[in-house]
Amino acid sequence: MSMGHGGGARGDLRAAYDRGETVCVIGAGASGLLATKNLTEHGYGVDCYDRETGIGGAWNWRHDRSPVYDSAHLISSKAATQFPDFPMPDTWPDFPRHSQVLSYLERYADHFDLRRHIWFGTEVVRVEPVAQGRWDVTTRSTGGVTERTHRYSAVVVANGHNWSPKLPSYEGMDSYSGEVIHASAFKDPATLRGRRVLVVGAGNTGCDIAVEAAQRAATCWHSRRRGYWFVPKYLTGRPVDQVNELVLAARLPPRVRQWLFQRVLKLAVGDLRRFGLPAPDHKVYETHPIVNSQLIYYLGHGRVTPVPDVARFDRHAVELVDGSRIEPDLVVLATGYLPQFEFVDPDLLGVDEQGRPRLHLQMFSPRHPSLAVAGMLQPDAGLFPLVHWQTVAFARWLRMREVDPDRAAAAVARFSPPGRRWHDARTKDTSRHWFETSRISYLRALQRLLDELEPSR
């Protein structure tokens, strides 16, 4: 797909209906709702488009692109996940279930009267820059034909990054006699009952599904590429992220913290090689934390058998890298997701050869800062607060652009080069960790931006 951009001198005569200062938000999931609420709060009109007929995006299990499964619960605790200006109810547990998160988003939308800004059943086909940092957004009704183009002063892309499966290509996988699915297609744990299941991948989803299989399947093999650190959900009777915050409050240098956390995990979780797992080949904080208290329990009860990486599939068996062969009748590939922006020229998001978008402060387009991506982060604690402040910063940035465009451009350029990481450990350079973000480092950077954009009182 090639598109001209920057000039605004498009040859065709398609009329773009000018929406003035209105901002376009793509997606009505958590990030899109946050963007809609914070932009309207700053006085902007918002047109939010969603391809589905309801809000909630990934958290709405009715949506065909939703990755949630029956047992999906929050990984970070309620206090670390809730919006900074709209707390989850006191009566909820520390780790709410996905359906509670959806009802939270629905209450948020109703409380701030957001639904009147949302165009449901409408998908965005194209986003193209025109002069003065403005954007032509072409939409059509989901699955429909007729296209309409509106012109906006800015665009927030909030289409999520956990819906397009990243599928590994193992030799012979297509001709395997058993069933092979991606974790995105796994919804109901009843499908595991009595079967011989191989779960590939030891991310948070892979571990959750292995735990489900441990309770229902006849056999569960769990394959992983490397050794990981397993963080329990509770330490000293408190959610582990709260304990981590207490340690952070002591303002120890990152290396000392890393050492301390590693000591604590050795005490609380212990040596995983006893369970047949490989020792971690990296320090804690260098990969996304796996927060799971149950997997080790089921490993110890023989309900989950750890196996190494898959080498290849043949007609009836899966061969592992150590040469052993297993015969699962269901293979669940919990191998993650890749970001997808099929409606925008990859150049605008600074997408490199590997497919990784490189943005200023992980949100602003390196070409035109009036295009921002909200929520493309994988933080070590709750995501929602970071997206809240991202979208507040974007609204404030738009305000500054109206008054002083040069200062606004400079405020974003300070975060050069695009694609910088906001993390204090050296994270692994795999697509799994493209968006790995440290909550503290990122909030500090956002605070600097917000201070710069603060209207002078």
Partner 1 sequence: MTRPSRTHPSRTRILRRREAALPVPPVAREVLSARPAVDEGRPPLLLVPGFGAGAWVYAEHWLDHVADRGYPAHAMSVRGHGGSARARRAGLRAYVHDVVQVAASLPRRAVLVGHGAGALVVARALARYPAAAAVLAAPVFGGRLAGWSTVGRCLVRNPVGTVPAAFGGPLRLRRGQLFSRQLPAATATAYRQRMCRAAARAQWQLLLGGLPEPPVGDPPVLVLGSPDDAVVSTAALNRVARRYGGAPLLFPGMGHALMLDAQWREPVEAVLDWLDKGLAPRD
Q: Which stretch binds partner 1 (CB under 8 A): 54-62, 85-93, 177-185, 372-380?
A: 85-93
Q: Which stretch binds partner 1 (CB under 8 A): 240-248, 321-329, 367-375, 403-411?
A: 240-248
Q: Which stretch binds partner 1 (CB under 8 A): 181-189, 222-230, 274-282, 448-456?
A: 448-456
Pick the closest to residue 101 from 74, 62, 80, 83 (CA basis).
74
Give 196's DSSP letter: E
Q: Please state whether beta strands 325-326 and 330-333 pair in parallel, antiparallel, or not at all (unpaired).
A: unpaired
CB of 337 to partner 1, least distance (A): 27
Q: How far is residue 155's CA from residue 135's CA, in Å, rounded to a whole number? A: 7
CB of 457 to partner 1, least distance (A): 6
Q: Return the number of the residue (113 or 327) whose C-beta is nearest partner 1.
A: 113
Choosing from 246, 256, 279, 321, the residue that interacts with partner 1 (CB under 8 A) is 246
CB of 121 to partner 1, least distance (A): 24
Q: Return the number of the residue (77 or 164) whose C-beta is nearest partner 1.
A: 77
Please give the residues from 248 up to 287 whose contact with partner 1 meets the rule CB under 8 A: 248-249
By CB under 8 A, residue 103 contacts partner 1: no
Choosing from 389, 397, 422, 435, the residue that interacts with partner 1 (CB under 8 A) is 389
Choosing from 146, 169, 354, 456, the residue that interacts with partner 1 (CB under 8 A) is 456
Cβ contact 263:240 at 8 Å: no
Q: Across the strands, what pairs with 280?
A: 227
By CB under 8 A, residue 409 contacts partner 1: no
Q: How far is residue 13's CA from residue 35's CA, in Å, rounded to a whole number? A: 32
Please give the residues from 41 up to 70 whose contact with partner 1 meets the rule CB under 8 A: 41
CB of 148 to partner 1, least distance (A): 25
What is the three-class DSSP state of 201?
coil
Q: How far is residue 422's CA from residue 435's CA, in Å, rounded to a whole number? A: 9
Q: How far is residue 411's CA from residue 415's CA, in Å, rounded to a whole number? A: 8
Q: How far is residue 25's CA from residue 55's CA, in Å, rounded to a whole number? A: 13
CB of 8 to partner 1, least distance (A): 34
Choosing from 2, 91, 169, 354, the residue that interacts with partner 1 (CB under 8 A) is 91
- Quickly list DSSP for 401-451: HHH-HHHHHHHHHTTPSTT----SS----SGGGTTEE-HHHHHHHHHHHHH
The Cα-based distances of 350 to 96, 140, 155, 419 in angstroms read 36, 26, 16, 8
By CB under 8 A, residue 397 contacts partner 1: no
CB of 386 to partner 1, least distance (A): 9
Q: Return the number of the residue (76 or 164) whose C-beta is nearest partner 1.
A: 76
- 10 Å Cβ neighbour count for 444? 11
- Could you list the residues that contact partner 1 (CB under 8 A)? 41, 78-80, 84-87, 89-91, 110-113, 241-242, 245-246, 248-249, 381, 389, 440, 443-444, 446-447, 450-451, 454, 456-457
